[in-house]
Amino acid sequence: DTAVSQTPKYLVTQMGNDKSIKCEQNLGHDTMYWYKQDSKKFLKIMFSYNNKELIINETVPNRFSPKSPDKAHLNLHINSLELGDSAVYFCASSLRDRGYQETQYFGPGTRLLVL
């Protein structure tokens, strides 16, 4: 009965590889997000989808490509991984109500380590 789930939880890979992180929510929310949290613990929003439509696309290298097959899923694919991509990636979801974003619920995070 997990609300927001991410797979994998840990990802260790070599520079130059391509990897994907998957996210699923069973809360019936219409908006999903990807955040990157670096070693200083700053939360940086990367992407946001509302009803499968990209609504936020921050300044992120185009090696990062999100994909939302439906409202309950938001995946993140990363090409040509670099050392600086090492971080914790969080998926989150919320419901848009009367033009406002309601409470965000977060997944457990995916710890990515690029060697």
Partner 1 sequence: AQTVTQSQPEMSVQEAETVTLSCTYDTSENNYYLFWYKQPPSRQMILVIRQEAYKQQNATENRFSVNFQKAAKSFSLKISDSQLGDTAMYFCAFTGNQFYFGTGTSLTVIP
Sites of contact with partner 1 (CB under 8 A): 33, 37, 41-43, 45, 48, 55-56, 88, 90, 92, 94, 99-106, 108-109, 111
In the complex, minimum distance from the CB of residue 66 to partner 1, in angstroms, rounded to a whole number: 16
Task: Choose among 8, 94, 89: nearest CA to 45.
Answer: 89
Task: Single out the residue of 17, 32, 6 nearest to residue 86, CA to CA.
Answer: 17
Nearer to partner 1 (CB atom), residue 75 or residue 110: 110
Task: Give whichever of 18 and 38 is closer to partner 1, judged by the CB atom.
Answer: 38
Q: Which is nearer to partner 1, 81 or 92 (CB)?
A: 92
- Alpha carbon distance 80, 10 (integer Å): 18
Place of tokens 């600086």: 84
How many other C-beta atoms are found inside a 10 Å radius of the C-beta of residue 12?
A: 12
CB of 77 to partner 1, least distance (A): 22
